[in-house]
Structure 1
Amino acid sequence: MQKILVYSFLFLLVLTGCSSVIPDNPTAKTILKEDAQADILQLDQLIYIKVADQESLKKGNFIKEDNIGKIKKTTTSTLFFKDFYATKLPVGSEIYATNDHDTYTIIVEIDGKQILYKALVEG
């Protein structure tokens, strides 16, 4: 009985010690806690933030490709922030994949204007 308790304790200790090694990607809650005015959206459980320097889009470094979907809700509430929710983008804004699939970049189009967003990924 005592061995079982010792092994169980060691197992839990290893399990909790390893969990802190795996980085978590930022959530809407963590981003908006730091900056309540952040221009973000969620897609595939990743938070994307508006790229401050839109020059790479203007230079043609990123080209819009397949349509991914549309913004379903505009909200700053972090409670149940879901895929296709955004803090600043209007409902119906079109989301597109880009030609650069490795950098987690997407393009949002509003009234013909394209805006570049980049995923916030840890690790």
Structure 2
Amino acid sequence: MIRINKLITINKTFFNILFTIFSLMLIAGCGVADDGKITARDVLKQNSDADILMYKGRIYSNMTEVEWFEQKNEQYIKYNLIGEIEKQSTNSIGFNDMTATKLPVGTKVHSSREVDNDKELGILIVEFEGGYLYYMQLLEG
């Protein structure tokens, strides 16, 4: 009888430790290791065909043909050239600044501002095939 009680105690202890470790891993996994930013992995996990790019550690998504944005895009103008696409990839590993899923290497990327305002916005304007594409910063929440 004592032997069975010891086994039960050992099993309870083992499962309590296992539960504690699992709980800590779950909490750590839900932490804010990426500063609350949406990552390329987050986006590509939901839509492997997403048209995104990364700039200054932030993910921007193509909004050019989104209905509500089409009505507003004329109020945004190119401001400063911030660089060119350096890498094209659909792999979230190594998805760094100036990496895009669809845009070819060498595509020029500009910051934007509103027509009547000099303040830069969370929208990037990309020169593409003689026209412009609009990429909006994705925010968590």
User: TM-score, structure 2 length as denominator?
Assistant: 0.66
The alignment of Structure 1 onto Structure 2 pairs a total of residues equal to 103
Equivalent runs, 1:16-31 vs 2, <5 Å: 24-31=36-43
Return the offset for 1:102. Answer: 5.7
2:103 matched to 1:89?
A: yes
Which one has more relative contact order, counting CA pairs under 8 Å at least 6 apart? Answer: 1
Residues 55-98 of structure 1 deviation map (CA, whole Å, 9 limit, x = unaligned)? 222xx210011100000011101111000000000111100011
CA distance in 2 between partners of 1:44 and 1:33 (Å): 21
Give RMSD over aligned pairs: 2.1
User: In the superposition, relative to structure 1, how do residues 23 and 84 fare at CA in structure 2: closer, same or farther (>3 Å)?
Assistant: closer
Identity of aligned residues (%): 34
Provide structure 2 residue ranges, at least 5 long, that are not aligned to the other structure: 1-27
Return the offset for 1:122. Answer: 2.2
User: TM-score, structure 1 length as denominator?
Assistant: 0.75
CA distance in 1 between partners of 2:51 and 2:82 (Å): 19
2:79 matched to 1:79?
A: no
Matching residue of 1:106: 124
Runs of 4+ in 1 over 3 A off after TM superposition: 100-103
Counterpart amino acid of residue 125 in structure 2: I
Return the offset for 1:113. Answer: 1.0
CA distance in 2 between partners of 1:23 and 1:78 (Å): 17
2:41 matched to 1:41?
A: no
Matching residue of 1:115: 133
Max radius of gyration: which structure?
Answer: 2
Return the offset for 1:25. Answer: 1.3
CA distance in 1 between partners of 2:41 and 2:86 (Å): 18
